[in-house]
Structure 1
């Protein structure tokens, strides 16, 4: 079992090196094919007062700049591909919808795993909204790389943020290839409530048993009645346990068309310290 097709979202020249390096590391581990994908922005149309006539020269200059960025991103990706010798291909799309490009979503639906960068200043609201929509529409897990991680390293310690939800279950099994090669996997619950099938103190035991049947070395840890918000409890655990990969569901507002991440997901995306695999 492994990730045979990776879709690397190559946004800017600054993040392309980072994302491609991580994609190469995963490709070498699982013998994957890597698709490098870039969405070239359609230039906004500036208007000239008083008649609000589009300025063709300015529009063309902006589009030329966007295309130059596309060429730079492609050059970086292809250079790494030739140097590292992994199976790869390049795709670029001209779009005004960013992550939500229909062509990009179609590409994602045929991939095992999507890889993208967090970005220098965390996930800004507009980008985060695009990402949530992308998760809804693509149906594929997304591996986000925090900007503080400049070079890939082996994924030895994994933390699964577990609350028994559909999203958490989806993320856990989407991460199975990583879990199966990790040295340690921890199921982490925060202030779990009693249910009809188990007490809060036993939350995570059943999913741990399921993972153990795959030969995964797994432990269960519960954070109970600490007074900490779930996001803070998870952040502390990431730091205390030197976690390489966080696995969690992407929790959204029930009115999903508002495209807002839930509080826990939003906080963790803004202060990422480890690779984070999100599914919903």
Structure 2
């Protein structure tokens, strides 16, 4: 799909070279790149002295200096990114978010609402709380899908072979719909079901066939495969079979269970978020 807006979330260690593959995509699809340079800051270590209500609160100068230094560095990266766009001849703009990790989901959500797809750059994994709150902000507070581990494949937004981990859940259907432009443009789409229950009230008499017909009407070249996980953790089974067919990108629904349940007990989404070996597109 041409003329998409691509939201790119990049951390303090991100470089201009990390944006090169996106510039190629923007040129090929006449897309617009909206890059946010994210600076997660430490909580304010405020100290109180004196009795209330006459006491005072003091914020250490070191914290203020570090925060201001980070903001300056990010602003310099913003300028460099805008210059990069001009040099590469692509449509785009860069901005800065410098705030606490706990508030990043609320800050990024309005940006994600007005994009076609979001990408989290790999360097943000160094900031675990920030990474997860950005992910939750996109998935739970906007309708957009998001790409993780983009550098695990040459063209994560222009995949040649897409592997859909399919079930009949609403998150899985949302993921397919949000990824439809990539699916239509791909040379091959594999629909994979795992441990499917073959009846009308579960996964259908022929799991994956209905989705295959719908995608075929859109012009996709579709193959349906039905797998037995054979006791292997589902996230690992998805990655192994996707690699086995030579897929560039995995598409799947996120958080079929609640966020809290997945965070405490684990789950397929958590497994796919934590892994760093395969590019994956998630939507909720």
Structure 2 equivalent of residue 209 of structure 1 = 213
Q: Cα distance 1:25–1:260, how it changes in 2: closer, same or farther (>3 A)?
A: farther
Structure 2 equivalent of residue 260 of structure 1 = 263
Correspondence for 1:88 among 86, 92, 95: 92
- Is 79-88 or 129-138 further displaced after alignment? 129-138
Structure 2 equivalent of residue 27 of structure 1 = 26
CA contact (8 A) 1:10 1:37 kept: yes
Between the aligned partners of 1:2 and 1:201, the Cα distance in structure 2 is: 36
* Aligned-CA RMSD value: 2.9
Structure 2 equivalent of residue 100 of structure 1 = 105
When normalised by structure 1's length, the TM-score is: 0.85
Between the aligned partners of 1:127 and 1:208, the Cα distance in structure 2 is: 34
- Which runs of no fewer than 5 residues in structure 1 stay unpaired? none
For residues 222-241 of structure 1, the aligned pairs below 5 Å read 222-224=226-228, 226-241=230-245
| Deviation for aligned residue 1:234 | 0.6
Structure 2 equivalent of residue 4 of structure 1 = 4
Between the aligned partners of 1:27 and 1:239, the Cα distance in structure 2 is: 27
Question: Number of matched residues?
Answer: 276
For residues 26-175 of structure 1, the aligned pairs below 5 Å read 26-42=25-41, 44-47=43-46, 53-96=57-100, 97=102, 99-102=104-107, 104-119=108-123, 124=128, 127-146=131-150, 148=152, 152=155, 154-175=158-179
When normalised by structure 2's length, the TM-score is: 0.84
- Which runs of no fewer than 5 residues in structure 2 stay unpaired? 51-55
Structure 2 equivalent of residue 243 of structure 1 = 247
Q: Are positions 1:187 and 2:191 aligned together?
A: yes
CA contact (8 A) 2:11 2:124 kept: no
Corresponding residue SS for 1:202? coil
| Deviation for aligned residue 1:264 | 0.8
Between the aligned partners of 1:120 and 1:194, the Cα distance in structure 2 is: 41
